[in-house]
Structure 1
Amino acid sequence: MPAPRRVASVIRLRPEHEQEYRELHRDVPRAVLDTLSRAHITNYSIFLREHTLFAYYEYTGEDYEADLAVIAADPDTQRWWTLTDPCQQPLDSAEPGQRWVEGEELFHLD
């Protein structure tokens, strides 16, 4: 079995929405979590520091782009994003329409 693909990404958290964002993530809808699992996303964590959200997950599937498309097409996930997106502000380096920006892995201790 190949090693999982490690993915890290960042986005800003709007300070005025911090409490709302924290509350939303205390009870992520089961349907959203199930969609992530079906798309081979594991070990998903989101961290917060100085109004910057840092996400990390591992992808264990074989077609990353196709699995991301499955997540994006899921109606429950789309509803979830209508709640979380207003809390976030993409980095200046994000492409038009891009929200979370992936980081480049520079080091990994195996």
Structure 2
Amino acid sequence: MKRYCLALDLVDDPEIIEQYKLHHQKVPGLIEKSIREAGIKVMEIYLTGNRLFMIMEVNDDFSFEKKGKMDAANEGVQKWEQMMDQLQKALPWAKPGEKWVLMDKIFSLKK
């Protein structure tokens, strides 16, 4: 199993942030299904201010390219993403069209 950590900002508006939180308290089943079918075993999203932090644990078959193709072919996921796009704001250093940005691990405390 592999772990990825990603970051993204929300539009810096308390109402927008609250909307995002409410949407994620009841994620539609088809969105959860698409996440699982892509090989994501665990997904958690944390919030501080307007900055989001996501942790994903994935199986050996997972790839961001495969997930992107699956999402592009899924009308329900596209509708969800369009709704989320209204609430999200790319990080200043994100590449054009990039939303969630992969984070580099710089420290790990081992047993």
| Fold match (TM-score > 0.5) | yes
Aligned to 2:103: 103
Aligned to 1:85: 85
Question: Unmatched 5+ residue regions in structure 1?
Answer: none
**2:30–2:76: 8 Å Cα contact kept in structure 1?**
yes
**1:13–1:87: 8 Å Cα contact kept in structure 2?**
yes
Question: What is the rounded CA distance, in whole Å, between the counterparts of 1:21 and 1:36 in structure 2?
Answer: 18
Look up the equivalent residue of 1:55 and give its one-letter code: M
**2:3–2:56: 8 Å Cα contact kept in structure 1?**
yes
Structure 1 residue ranges, 4+ long, deviating more than 3 angstroms after superposition: 107-110
Q: Secondary structure at the match of 2:27?
A: coil
Question: What is the rounded CA distance, in whole Å, between the counterparts of 1:90 and 1:70 in structure 2?
Answer: 22
**1:36–1:71: 8 Å Cα contact kept in structure 2?**
no
Question: Unmatched 5+ residue regions in structure 2?
Answer: none
Look up the equivalent residue of 2:84 and give its one-letter code: T
How big is the shift at 1:84? Answer: 1.0
**Counterpart among 3, 6, 10 of residue 9 in structure 1:** 6
Name the Cα RMSD after superposition: 1.6
Aligned to 1:48: 47
How big is the shift at 1:39? Answer: 0.6
**1:39–1:68: 8 Å Cα contact kept in structure 2?**
no
Look up the equivalent residue of 1:12 and give its one-letter code: D
